[in-house]
Structure 1
Amino acid sequence: MRLRLLLAAAPLVILGGCAAIPAKGGATVAQAEAPPAASPYGLFLAGEAAMNAGRSSEAAQFFDLARLGSDDNATVEERAFTAAILAGDIDKAAALAPVGDDASEAAKRLGKLVVAVKALAEDKGKVAQADLAADAIQFPHRAAAALLAPWAAAEAGDVEGSLVRPQVRGDRVVDYFGQLGQALLYERARRYDEAETDFKALTAGPVRTTLASLAYGGFLERRGRRADAVRVYDEALQRTPGETSVIAARARVKAGKAAPPAPGVKAGAAQAILGPASEMVAAKQSQFALAYLRLALRLDPKRDEAWVMVGDVLSGAGDNAAARDAYEKVRPGSEEYGAAQAKLAWTYQNAGDKETALKLARSGAATGGLDARMTLADLLRADEQYAEAAQVLSGLIAEDKTPDWRLLYARGVSYERLGRWPEAEADMKAALKLAPDEPELLNYLGYSWIDRGEHLKEAMAMVEKAVAADPRSGAMVDSLGWAYYRLGDYKQAVEKLEQAVELEAGDPEINNHLGDAYWKVGRKDEALFQWKRVLTLQPDAKMKADAETKIASGAGPDGPPRKVAGE
């Protein structure tokens, strides 16, 4: 099931991936002999460079080699410890966990958490329980330790200890996941009434997640209360229509299939630590987020949503190879498989392999998942296959009584690119009724009207509203500048379009617009410079022909209409 984050997701800025880089002859760094002249310090610097570039596995290998001859083992081992965690080698990280006086306090605290997780993964509950005892691990890992402690107690056979809800003052992630864990552990202890009290509180409280609904529904199924489970799933679908994991759970009940088993200790502990991992992602503490995800996977290597999150983190850093490795770990047939295939497709799209990207996206969309089908539509639009994109989006829109504005917007864009303006305009207007303050939507419809010379005053107001909401968007400032141009206020147009170029210097359309505005105010040399610059920015065929004609004719935008072959 997909983990629903308690906190808003933040942009992912992270160390990159974990794929070892082959040395000469195809061997990895660890397998290859170090260059004869390489000193421990040189290897350390190589490890630092690899770490800074996000290549965690390669970094770990360099640090391992550096440790063999270094006189400053504390520093090197601390870096090797960090790299091993990020690369997913938790057992090695536990062996390298810093403990000496020379080690930093932060590294020692994380080391304690890693050692405890390894013990729990190896069924050494009493060892893990002792390592995770109250206040044994402090900030910033106190929340993770607190959430793992009850599961360690359960593994150690301490039933009463496992039922104590973790507390960290002011930490809402601990409050939420602590109560979810307590509910599951009450069920494990066969204290069903207390378990249901917790489940009801989670699904009726201010924060209602798919995760809690699935957990409560599964509990009810195991109790033989199928009708009650269906009601819980129906309530969840009212909040999040189209949620494939809930649809699948509901279908399972209706078909009379067996209830899902209660999570074991390791699976429950892995789920618990995904809460702090999500919080770290939201707080842009990306190294910690990746570390926690690796710890969760040491406890439960089949935790598919954790593999997807790892892939997301690594993909966000631009490390496509490592991201692919994570996405490919998701098992076929799992609820996350469609989303993983869709995300895997984007790694190939970003690398320029459009054929493979579309093949994978179609495979993901075949699972029927909303996100996977949206990804297919997005990739088709990115590849300018607008007709098929509109077809996919139409299917999604038809399934929802009140379609998400994003679906209408995306289909409107596809129709506009196909030259089907009346349909595009209708979709944009419908989307705007659902999201009247959405800057991207206001900008797109406003700009389209401006570019067509229609509804100029209304379009101007829409674009001004979009720019006020997102003043750092070059595209939106460009729309405002182009509105002034269309209205004949060329001085204002130049001012706004210069701002837009400063914000997005490499956008060919913005540079083209600025050239036109310069021409209109008599700055013809600067106009020619801008149009020539457009030709260096990979413009599409229409814009390329437009710029070339303006340069060649000597008449600028006042010359004859530009034609493109095939129009």
Structure 2
Amino acid sequence: MRLPRLLTAAAPLVLMAACATAPAGSPSAGAAGSPAAAEQLANTSSYGKFLAGEQALNNGRSAEAAKFFDQARAGSGDTMIAERAFTAALLAGEIQKASALAPTGDQAGEASKRLGKLVVAVEALADGKGKEALALFNDPAIGFPHKPAAALLAPWAAAQAGDTEASIARPSVRGDRLVDYFGQLAQGALFERAKRYDEAETDFKAVVSVEQPTEMAVLAYGGFLERRGRRVDALALYGDALAREPDSIAVKAAQARASAGKSVPPMPTIREGAAQALLAPAATMIAAKQTQLALIYLRLVLRLDPARDEAWVMVGDLMTGGGDTESARAAYAHPKPGSMEYSTAQAKLAWTYQGADDKETALKLARAAAAGGDTDARVTLADLLRSDEQYGEAAKVLDGLIAQSKTPDWRLLYSRGVTEERLNRWPEAQADLQAALAAHPDEPELLNYLGYSWIDRGEHLKEALAMVQKAVASDPRSGAMVDSLGWAYFRMGDYKQAVEKLEEAVELEAGDPEINDHLGDAYWKVGRRDEAQFQWRRVLTLKPDDKIKASAETKLASGLGPDGPTPKLADK
């Protein structure tokens, strides 16, 4: 059975990087696939430096790309190369350099010039030049797609310039709900800064009164209430928010702080407020899969507020997706103990080492983070232990997590159920999986895991069939789930339909040894013996686990297929 990765972060995002076309007869940019090869190519000419920069950018090495493009720009004066140097500097977080390189003039592309104006304005704001920044943010030349960002940042620039009336003007971009919502949130903060508390509260109440208020809005209003000496009201707000989103680490921390009567959170500085305002467009870019622009916006956020830890975690995610593991690790290392993002960052940092097959370092980081007792850090440790097949220790960690909760999270029950199944404790595993399913009955992964377990054991086949059918309906592109459905038909003797579904599963996940093994069994049952033997031979090329390998070898050696003897595993 394929072991799911249950509780870790969502699949990484892909960092997009444009690639220039080399002239006919020129050396291929692909020759610079490694950093060493890129350095060698860069030593040839300005064009070689450009190619090295392109390859570095396409491989997610932003800082290296920025260096090569800057060298190429200095040596050639070419407008296109200058624009690439500007973009690479932004991606690498070198905002001051990027501001100096911002494209201008008739030769520069319009998209680069618009982005350049935004960058120069943010740099002015970061440098305390509010009046200059305000003029730039209000310049219509910034244009699409940066108009929302400019509109949200302009009031903060006005506040820095000392123009109170302009700072409390509500930003607006026609038809843009993001600007409407986050503009009103920022207006509340700026009203508070202007000591116009009634108007501030009107705005804060409005942004938390929507059907799904953001965590950012809850924390902003709660902080305002605490600063006004209204701790009871703040606690009620935090309690309502946690009733909706019980896993919010930030709101839990705010509730604990207010309950303990600790120091109230200070009003955000102008740069901190501006950074928070820019986070919303950055998140929107990520949601729209505009990941290069999202990374640029996050770099601008961090230029304004280098201590914005959630932005560092988001940068780490984007760098991980782009293949720049070194930069991702540097980003994840920014949140320090005591930060609300520390556990999340440490978990993601550990997974970068796990992904690089450095399991020792991954577990060392996870154990160190979990030693403080943080729940999320302990979950990460359990997940890594399970991934490394250290099921006994993983089960102990999960036992502790579940025991401390009055109503255990279904994901913890799911994870322990998987762990127990791997430890051959099926009654306990089944109980946990059923409890998890009762709490979250429509979760496709859970439906599939319990359904497949029953199917593979020949138990509750009709119920299991309905479960995996429901899972496939939710995620028809999952090869694992389609395989479960095909295997259900196989177990129920409907071999024709089993072949149909298992062929579909192999198309979706061609390299999965278990799916290929299942398809071989189904071919055998419908009399397609040569194809069955081909599938089992293929299984042996796909790095199967010991059980699947023994099964395929036995079926090939016996000549009896799945109707032959049960394979025996050698003692370990």
TM-score if structure 1 supplies the norm length?
0.92
CA contact (8 A) 1:412 1:425 kept: yes
Distance 2:146 2:488 in 1: 52
Q: Name the structure 2 match of 1:12.
A: 13
Q: Name the structure 2 match of 1:486.
A: 491
C-alpha deviation, 1:370, in angstroms: 4.2
Letter in 2 for 1:40: S
CA contact (8 A) 1:21 1:58 kept: no
Out of 178, 185, 197, the residue aligned to residue 202 of structure 2 is: 197
Go from structure 1 to structure 2 and tell me whether the alpha carbon gap of 1:10 and 1:419 turns closer, same or farther (over 3 Å shift).
closer
Out of 15, 22, 44, the residue aligned to residue 50 of structure 2 is: 44
CA contact (8 A) 1:126 1:155 kept: yes
Q: Name the structure 1 match of 2:69.
A: 63
Out of 386, 391, 398, the residue aligned to residue 386 of structure 1 is: 391
Out of 256, 273, 286, the residue aligned to residue 261 of structure 2 is: 256
C-alpha deviation, 1:517, in angstroms: 1.5
Q: Name the structure 1 match of 2:98.
A: 93
Does residue 159 (structure 1) correspond to residue 164 (structure 2)? The answer is yes
Partner-residue secondary structure (3-state), 1:431: helix
Q: How does 1:520-559 map to 2 (within 5 A)?
A: 520-559=525-564
515-524 or 263-272: bigger deviation: 515-524
Go from structure 1 to structure 2 and tell me whether the alpha carbon gap of 1:356 and 1:566 turns closer, same or farther (over 3 Å shift).
same
> Kindly, what percent of the aligned residue pairs are identical?
70
C-alpha deviation, 1:335, in angstroms: 1.1
C-alpha deviation, 1:400, in angstroms: 4.3
CA contact (8 A) 1:217 1:232 kept: yes
Q: How does 1:356-371 map to 2 (within 5 A)?
A: 356-371=361-376
Does residue 428 (structure 1) correspond to residue 429 (structure 2)? The answer is no
137-146 or 513-522: bigger deviation: 513-522
Distance 2:160 2:85 in 1: 30
Out of 242, 246, 262, the residue aligned to residue 241 of structure 1 is: 246
Partner-residue secondary structure (3-state), 1:488: coil
C-alpha deviation, 1:455, in angstroms: 1.2
Go from structure 1 to structure 2 and tell me whether the alpha carbon gap of 1:534 and 1:369 turns closer, same or farther (over 3 Å shift).
same
Distance 1:186 1:398 in 2: 46
Q: Name the structure 2 match of 1:4.
A: none
Distance 1:350 1:532 in 2: 28
C-alpha deviation, 1:336, in angstroms: 0.9
Distance 2:447 2:482 in 1: 12
Distance 1:509 1:33 in 2: 44
Q: Name the structure 2 match of 1:6.
A: none
Letter in 2 for 1:556: G
C-alpha deviation, 1:402, in angstroms: 4.1
C-alpha deviation, 1:91, in angstroms: 0.6
Q: How does 1:410-429 map to 2 (within 5 A)?
A: 410-429=415-434
Does residue 112 (structure 1) correspond to residue 117 (structure 2)? The answer is yes
Go from structure 1 to structure 2 and tell me whether the alpha carbon gap of 1:180 and 1:300 turns closer, same or farther (over 3 Å shift).
same
CA contact (8 A) 1:10 1:281 kept: no
Q: Name the structure 2 match of 1:278.
A: 283
CA contact (8 A) 2:59 2:323 kept: no
Number of residue pairs matched? 548
**1:384-441 CA distances to partner (integer Å, 9 max, x unpaired)?**
1223323333444444444433222222211211111122222222222233222222
CA contact (8 A) 1:406 1:431 kept: yes
Partner-residue secondary structure (3-state), 1:360: helix
Q: Name the structure 2 match of 1:337.
A: 342
**1:65-121 CA distances to partner (integer Å, 9 max, x unpaired)?**
2112325x2111111101100010001110110111111111111000000011111
Go from structure 1 to structure 2 and tell me whether the alpha carbon gap of 1:537 and 1:312 turns closer, same or farther (over 3 Å shift).
same
Does residue 297 (structure 1) correspond to residue 298 (structure 2)? The answer is no
C-alpha deviation, 1:516, in angstroms: 1.3
Distance 2:497 2:35 in 1: 55
CA contact (8 A) 1:243 1:370 kept: no
Partner-residue secondary structure (3-state), 1:472: coil
CA contact (8 A) 2:490 2:498 kept: yes
C-alpha deviation, 1:316, in angstroms: 2.1
Uncovered stretches (5+) of structure 1, i.e. residues with no partner = 1-8
498-507 or 527-536: bigger deviation: 527-536
Uncovered stretches (5+) of structure 2, i.e. residues with no partner = 1-9, 18-32
